[in-house]
Amino acid sequence: MLAHVKILSLWEIAHYWHDYDPRQSKTHHLPLKVRDTLLVLSMAYSKKLNIRVQQDRAYLLGIVGRAQRFTARHYRHTFKKSIDKKVFGKRFYSNILLTRSQLAQWCIDHNESLPEFWFPDNDKHPYDLTTKNLKEEMSTDGRYKLMLLYDDTKKVDDDSSVKQSCAATVSSNAVKAANAKHAETNAIKARFIEFYVAKGKQYPSRAAASRYFFDSLEKRERLRFSSRETAARTFLEALRKHEKKSKSS
């Protein structure tokens, strides 16, 4: 029983719910019941996401804030891709956190029985499901601070208790890891922009310049893209955004 544990990841919840060990499964070898549960929970919790950071490091969120639009886009895209393709990455879902009370609220809202692995007394146990309690549980008695990364839920009324229950949380370390994962790709795109500004007129078209630039990359850099054409599209999109931003400034 895990009744003493207040916070688990979506990956752990989906496995323990069906008596599987979350440490044994891999992204592309998931039991069907686990995969289906991850799909349901993804659809419920992908619309709103918080960042959890230690109180004494909250000032670092200023750094995250500058990249917030990109970071939010990364998490939205990963959730959507997982739902559409029904492929759930172990690393990603191991970093998406829910509290015990949040899962209880979801089960109550959807007339689901409380899973025995986390609720040994099942529905006999009284849970305080107010917004304040949910936030305090995730903040672990004030050790952490929660900040909203994005919210795509429809604000139908002012009753925020249910809306809060549908907000998953990701740690600031996971956000930094997501940013770091894309840092090299962003650096390559920046290099392409510099390359095109300096030498773009030497090529018959932008597409030709982007392909030449891709071919000039080191092998490990080329491996960051699924194909030459994907890389070319990525470079051209980055160039369009750069030019649009330059015109507006």
pTM of the model: 0.62
**Angle (deg, nearest 10), helices 172-199 and 206-216:** 120
Any idea of the CA torsion for 28, 29, 33, 37, to the nearest 10 degrees? -30
DSSP letter (8 states) at residue 129 = -
**Cα(38)–Cα(94) distance, rounded to whole angstroms?**
11
Give the residues across from 8 on adjacent strands.
98
Quote the pLDDT of residue 76.
87
Please name which of 133, 132, 128, 99 lies closest in space to residue 7, comparing C-alpha atoms. Answer: 99
**Cα(76)–Cα(70) distance, rounded to whole angstroms?**
10
Q: What is the pLDDT along the chain (249 residues), one digit of tens a residue?
A: 566 788 899 999 999 999 999 999 999 899 999 999 999 999 888 888 887 766 655 545 554 454 456 578 888 888 999 999 999 999 889 988 888 888 888 888 888 888 888 887 654 454 555 555 556 666 655 667 677 777 887 654 444 444 444 567 766 566 566 666 667 888 899 999 999 999 999 999 999 999 999 999 998 888 888 889 989 999 999 999 889 888 876
**Cα(47)–Cα(62) distance, rounded to whole angstroms?**
23
40 burial (CB, 10 Å; 0-12 / 13-18 / 19+) is: middle
Quote the pLDDT of residue 195.
94
- The structural domains of the chain, with segments of one domain joined by +, span 7-176, 182-248
Quote the pLDDT of residue 156.
44
